[in-house]
Amino acid sequence: MTDRNHTTVHRGLTTMVAAAMSCLIGGAALAADDWTKSKWGPDDQIGAANNLNAEKVLEASKLITTGKTYALGIEINSQTPAYAPRSFKIYVVQPGQVQGGSLGSTKTTYNDDIIEGWLGIGSQIDGLGHIGIDGVYYNGNHAKDFVDMSGLKKLGIEKVPPITTRGVMLDMAAHYGTDVVKEGTAFNKAEIEAVAQKQGVEIRKGDVVLFNTGWISLIGKDDKRFGSVEPGLGVEGARYLAEKGVVAVGADSWALEVIPFEPGTGVFEVHQVLLAQNGIYILENMNTAELAEDKAYEFMFVLGQPRYTGAVQAIINPVAIR
Identify the CATH number of the domain in which residue 46 sits.
Answer: 3.50.30.50
- Answer whether residue 21 is part of any domain: yes
Specify whether the CB–CB gap between 275 and 120 falls below 8 A: no
Which domain, by its residues, includes 189? 3-84+119-321
Which pLDDT value is given to residue 267? Answer: 97
- Ramachandran class of 268: left when φ > 0, alpha when ψ lies in -120 to 50, beta otherwise: left
Which pLDDT value is given to residue 187? Answer: 98
**First and final C-alpha spacing in the chain:** 35
Reported pTM:
0.89
Q: How far is CA 36 from CA 26, 27, 107, 224, 267, in A?
A: 16, 12, 59, 37, 19
Taking residues 74-97, report their average pLDDT: 95
In this predicted model, what pLDDT tens digit does every residue of 230-246 receive, in sequence order?
Answer: 999 999 999 999 999 99
In this predicted model, what pLDDT tens digit does every residue of 146-190 receive, in sequence order?
Answer: 999 999 999 999 999 999 999 999 999 999 999 999 999 999 999
Give the three-class secondary structure for 193.
helix
Taking the C-alpha atoms of residue 254 and residue 251, their distance in angstroms, rounded to an integer, is: 8
Higher-confidence residue: 93 or 26?
Answer: 93
- Answer whether residue 196 is part of any domain: yes
- Answer whether residue 225 is part of any domain: yes
Which pLDDT value is given to residue 24? Answer: 39
- Answer whether residue 274 is part of any domain: yes
- Answer whether residue 92 is part of any domain: no
Which pLDDT value is given to residue 108? Answer: 94
- Answer whether residue 99 is part of any domain: no
- Answer whether residue 101 is part of any domain: no
Taking the C-alpha atoms of residue 310 and residue 146, their distance in angstroms, rounded to an integer, is: 10
Rg (CA), the chain: 20
Domain total in the chain: 1
Taking the C-alpha atoms of residue 237 and residue 284, their distance in angstroms, rounded to an integer, is: 17
Give the three-class secondary structure for 61.
helix
* Res 69 pLDDT > 70: yes
The C-alpha angle 17, 284, 9, rounded to 5 degrees, equals: 35
- Answer whether residue 97 is part of any domain: no
Give the three-class secondary structure for 163.
strand
- Ramachandran class of 167: left when φ > 0, alpha when ψ lies in -120 to 50, beta otherwise: beta
Taking the C-alpha atoms of residue 28 and residue 319, their distance in angstroms, rounded to an integer, is: 32
What order of strands is seen across the sheet that includes strand 281-284?
69-71, 319-321, 298-303, 163-171, 208-212, 248-251, 281-284, 124-126, 313-315
Which pLDDT value is given to residue 33? Answer: 53
Which pLDDT value is given to residue 196? Answer: 98
In this predicted model, what pLDDT tens digit does every residue of 217-228 receive, in sequence order?
Answer: 999 999 999 999
Supply the angle between the helices 189-199 and 235-244 in degrees, to the nearest 10: 60
